[in-house]
Amino acid sequence: MGRFSFVPEQASTFAPGVDHLLYFLLAVSVFFTLLIFGAIFYFAIRYRRRSDRELPHPPHSGLTLEIVWTVIPFGLTMVMFTWGAKIFFSESRPPDDAMQVYVVGKQWMWKLEHMEGKREINELHIPLGRPVKLTMTSEDVIHSFFVPAFRTKEDVVPGKYSVTWFQPTKTGKYHLFCAEYCGTNHSHMIGWVYVMEPGDYANWLRGGQQGGSLAEAGAKLFQDLACSNCHHADNSGRCPSLVGVFGSSVKLAGGGTVTADEAYLRESILQPNAKIVAGYQPVMPTFQGLVTEEGVLQLVEYIKSLGTKPAAPASGGPR
Ligand code: CUA
C-alpha cells in the first residue's frame, strides 16, 4: 500500500499533460461551485423577506449580463474541448518508431507478446524512454487496458484491433488494471508493467525461454495451416502473393481499395470473403475458430515480415 496521493505517480510523457488538464477542470469546477453557492447564501440573506407586506420587485433583464454569462461558459468549454481533444489525438497516434507489443485480453488475464517472440502473462516489461505501441484485441468480451501511472486507458474489444501507445519516463513497477467489468474475476485481471533501463531490458529479452520471434512462429503457422499451398510468393498460386502486401493499397473485386493494415489482414484470415482481392475467386476458407487471436497476430507479423509497401516506385505515392 503506497501513500495516498491525489493522482497516481507520473511515469509517462502523457502524465503531466493529462494532470494539468485535470487540475484545470477541477479549478474551474471549484471556482464556479464556490461562486454559485456563495451567491445563493449571500442573496438568501441579503434579499430575504423582512415583513409580510413586502412585495418583490419585478426582475429586470439586461442584455449585457445575458451575453456575459453565455460567452464566458462557451469560451471555457471550448478551451476544455480543444485541450482534451489535443491530448486524445496524441494518445491515439503512435509515432512511427514505436516499439510494437501485442496484447490479447481474455477472461481473466492479459497475454502480451513481444516482436522478438517473448510472451508474458499479466506482466509487461518495456525499456525506458522508448515509445511503445500496443495492438490489442480480446478473445471473449470487452476488457480495458489501464495503466494509471501512464494515464493510458484503452478498450480491448473482441473482433477488432485497438491501438494505444505511451512512452515511459521513469523506471519502476506500475499497476496494470482491467478497467472494464468483464465477469466474475474482473478484479483479478490485474498485473504489472516493469519499466527497465534499456540494457536491463535487452538482457531480459534474451533470457528465459528461447522461442522464435512472432514472425517466425507465424511462418510455422502459415505452413501448418497450409496457407502456403495457395499463397505463393511468386503469385503463381490461386491466391494473391503476400509479399509486400502489408501497408500497400489493395484493389478489391467490385471496385474500391483498402489499405492492408493489421485490421485488414486479421479480417482476411477470419472472414476471407469480406473483401475479395480483384482478380481472385473467393476460395479461401475461414479460419475463425481454427486459429487463436495469438495465432492471428503471429500470422500478421509473418505477413508484415514479408516486406512492407511493394517496390514500385513508378506507381503509388506515399500512403
Ligand atoms: Cu477484463 Cu475486466
CA distance 229 to 232: 7
Residue 159 in any domain: the answer is: yes
Q: Which domain, by its residues, includes 13?
A: 8-42+65-211
Task: State the closest ligand 1 atom to the C-alpha of 183, by its place in the atom list counted from 1.
Answer: 2
Contacts of residue 91, Cβ cutoff 8 Å, sequence gap at least 6: 14, 152, 164, 165, 166
Q: Per residue in 41-52, pLDDT tens?
A: 999 998 888 888
**Least confidently predicted of 110-124, 128-142, 236-250:** 236-250
Amino acid at 75: G
Cis peptide before 108 (omega within 30 of 0): yes
Asked which of 195, 211, 227 is the last residue of a domain, the reply is 211
Could you give the residue ranges of the DSSP H alpha helices within the chain?
15-46, 63-92, 198-206, 214-224, 262-270, 293-305
Q: What is the arithmetic mean of pLDDT over 233-261?
A: 82
Report the domain count for the chain: 2
pLDDT at 217 over 60: yes
Binding-site residues, ligand 1, Cβ < 6 A: 105, 108, 143, 178, 180-182, 186, 189
Q: Is residue 54 part of a domain?
A: no
Taking a C-beta distance cutoff of 8 angstroms, is the pair 218, 303 a contact? yes
User: Which atom of ligand 1 is nearest the CA belonging to 105?
Assistant: 1
Tell me, in angstroms, the distance from the centre of ligand 1 to residue 153's CA: 12
127 and 261 fall within a common domain:
no
Place of cell 510523457: 13
CA of 106 to the centre of ligand 1 (A): 8
Tell whether pTM > 0.75: no
- The chain-wide mean pLDDT, for the chain, equals 85
Residue 83 and residue 158 in one domain: yes
Provide the Cα torsion 117, 122, 127, 133; round to 10°. Answer: 70
Question: Residue 190 sits in a domain of what CATH number?
Answer: 2.60.40.420
Q: What is the mean pLDDT of residues 156-167?
A: 92
